[in-house]
Chain A
Amino acid sequence: AQTVTQSQPEMSVQEAETVTLSCTYDTSESNYYLFWYKQPPSRQMILVIRQEAYKQQNATENRFSVNFQKAAKSFSLKISDSQLGDTAMYFCAFMKQGNKLVFGAGTILRVKS
């Protein structure tokens, strides 16, 4: 069975600094998708970034980028120039066969001014 592990329950970062959130996963599939979702306090879950496993190039979306290491089954999220609005719970997710998502336990990120 596929599993997703986020080993950091909570992280803090100063405004304008860079932070990296860790995620590892376990699967026997060769083609899959990986996601980072953001859930601000009492607000809607939104997509941060997505990575297709067959692509070697790491995905980037503005201040958000990933370090995808397929052999190590690692998928970390780097947030550059952190902003107060980045404060949220971040979930790493693996899309398994059938278009179903398996989520990690989440990392609470607090951006401090």
Chain B
Amino acid sequence: EADIYQTPRYLVIGTGKKITLECSQTMGHDKMYWYQQDPGMELHLIHYSYGVNSTEKGDLSSESTVSRIRTEHFPLTLESARPSHTSQYLCASSEYGATQYFGPGTRLLVL
């Protein structure tokens, strides 16, 4: 079982609030990823990082931002939440060319 953690697991918040979704891993993986998944749908890559101070946007455009100041930590921030941001956000990590391990996800509901 991979050691990758996400907090909070569930978040209900009002429109316009700033939120940060936390993701951390204890495996020392260089690569980390954020995916967005609507209920019963496929995952879409929104951000990824190949190491400290490296962040890139993924295939699906997102208003969120990410940072990678420490190897083990890859938080995602929404400056002003909107109902369209309601979704599940999954964090993953991997070594190069290897399997991605997923966290438990954060279910976000913006009212």
Binding site for B on A (CB under 8 A): 33, 35, 37, 43-47, 50, 89, 91, 95, 98-106, 108
Binding site for A on B (CB under 8 A): 31, 33, 40-45, 48, 50, 58-59, 90, 94, 96-105
Q: A33-B97, A45-B90, A98-B48 are in contact. List 19 more A-B contacts (CB 8 A).
A: A35-B99, A43-B104, A44-B102, A44-B103, A44-B104, A45-B105, A46-B102, A47-B99, A91-B42, A99-B98, A99-B100, A100-B45, A100-B58, A100-B59, A101-B33, A101-B100, A103-B42, A103-B43, A104-B42
Q: Is there an interface contact between A44 and B105, defined as CB atoms closer than 8 Å?
A: yes
Q: Is there an interface contact between A50 and B99, defined as CB atoms closer than 8 Å?
A: yes
Chain A residues closer than 8 Å to B59, beta-carbon distance: 100, 102
Once the chains are docked, how many angstroms separate the CA of A101 from the CA of B78?
23
